[in-house]
Amino acid sequence: MEVPKTSLIVIIVVLASCLLQAKAWHGQTYCGGNAAPRCQLQYISTPNCEASGAICLDPRFIGGDSIVFYFHGKSNEHFSLVSDHDVQINARFTGLRPTGRTRDLTWIQALGFLFNSHKFSLETTKVATWDSNIDHLKFNIDGQDLVIPEETLSTWYSSEQDIKIERLTQKNSVIVTIKDNAEIMVNVVLVTKEDDRIHSYELPIDDCFAHLEVQFKFINLSPEVDGILGRTYRPDFKNPAKPGVAMPVVGGEDSFRTSSLLSYDCKNCFFSRQETVPSGSVKPKSEYTFLDCSRGASSGNGIVCRK
């Protein structure tokens, strides 16, 4: 039986729509025909929570050694994720303690960066009811709030062009590039009602705990790098996470706690504003990377779109 032409078109459209949705669920966002010319009809990747350098969930880390571990921290406190000679990256944890639990359940709510003379932060705004049509990201550089146009691939540079922020989608997803140090892909997500039901979080009615999914790609880390995540990139690091455990928890809160989002006063912090590293050597400079949505997925160690 011959299928009417209009019905065939409908079938094709439906199949295409399903394909786009499937791609989106697997860590990619479709860049439609109204986007910037260099990204039209392409896919741009969002954080891959199964790759090295990822921090997702409550919070679940995948180290540079590809080992999965959990670091719970404490709600409304700050911890060093990475501390190297010329870059410091901290996180603010948010969370709550359900009835009968012995610790806080936490997620990452904000990131703070110290680099050269800059103090840069990005954070999620508190929201009672999630609305994907609203951008829940807030940016600040050296004490000044930033407004980045809500357009796919809209870009902001610091005055020295050593920090770059580019929206991956119109709202709630960006890539931050710290020149010669790191690329950080950030996505805002919420704790869903289904998550609440399964894990008995006991979420309050005025907060759905919007938080960050993050994926890092580091460039030229020193062998002495420290921090909850950073130390897993040291060549001599032995991960204390117990193999075969469903939820291997790694402690050390006292070693990584900082007094604020933009401080480097933890016991294991050694960031300084000097650009040279010990022994008189200078960190090699790499090519400054830019987002290029025409390329495919990488090996899973961080950022996908670059050239």
**Residue 149 in domain:** yes
For residue 307, give every residue at least 6 positions away whose Cβ sits within 8 Å of its Cβ, in sequence order, or none: 289, 290, 291, 292, 295
pLDDT, tens digit (0-9, with 9 covering 90-100), for 51-84: 999 999 989 999 999 999 999 999 999 999 999 9
What pLDDT band is residue 98 in, cutting at 50, 70 and 90?
confident
Q: How many other C-beta atoms are found inside a 10 Å radius of the C-beta of residue 234?
A: 16
Which of the 8 DSSP states describes residue 109? E
Say if 199 falls within a structural domain: yes
Mean pLDDT, to the nearest integer, of 265-289? 58
- Asked, for residue 274, whether it belongs to a domain, the answer is no
303 band by pLDDT with thresholds 50, 70 and 90: very low
- 22 belongs to a structural domain: no
The three-class DSSP label of residue 71 is coil
**Tens digit of each residue's pLDDT (9 = 90 or more) over 32-49:** 444 444 444 455 556 788
E strands, the chain, in order: 28-31, 42-45, 54-56, 60-62, 68-70, 78-83, 87-96, 105-115, 118-124, 137-141, 144-146, 155-157, 163-167, 173-178, 182-189, 211-218, 257-258
Domain count, the chain: 1
The CB density around residue 12, as the number of other CB atoms within 10 Å, is 10
**Which has the minimum average pLDDT: 25-34, 176-185, 273-282, 286-295?**
286-295
pLDDT number for residue 100: 85
* Domain annotation covers residue 291: no
Mean pLDDT is highest, among 9-13, 101-105, 136-140, 241-245, for: 136-140
With a cut of 70, say whether residue 294 has pLDDT above it. no
Residue 228 scores a pLDDT above 90: yes
Residue 57 forms part of a structural domain = yes
Mean of the pLDDT values across residues 255-261? 97
Residue listed under structure tokens 């929570």 = 49
Please say if the pLDDT value at position 210 is more than 90.
yes
What pLDDT score does 135 carry?
Answer: 96
Task: Return the closest-CA partner of residue 305 out of 25, 48, 13.
Answer: 48
Compute how many other C-beta atoms are within 10 angstroms of the C-beta atom of residue 141.
Answer: 18
Q: What angle do CA 59, 55, 175 make, to 5 degrees?
A: 140
pLDDT tens digits for range 106-165: 999 999 999 988 999 999 999 898 999 999 999 999 999 999 999 999 999 998 899 999
- Confidence class for position 244, pLDDT limits 50, 70, 90: confident
Cα 258 from chain centre: 19
Whether residue 300 is predicted with pLDDT greater than 70 in this model: the reply is no
285-296 average pLDDT score: 37
Q: Which domain holds residue 67?
A: 51-255
Does residue 26 lie within any of the structural domains? no
- Does residue 134 lie within any of the structural domains? yes
Eight-class DSSP state of 132:
T
Contact (CB, 8 A) for 107 and 71: no
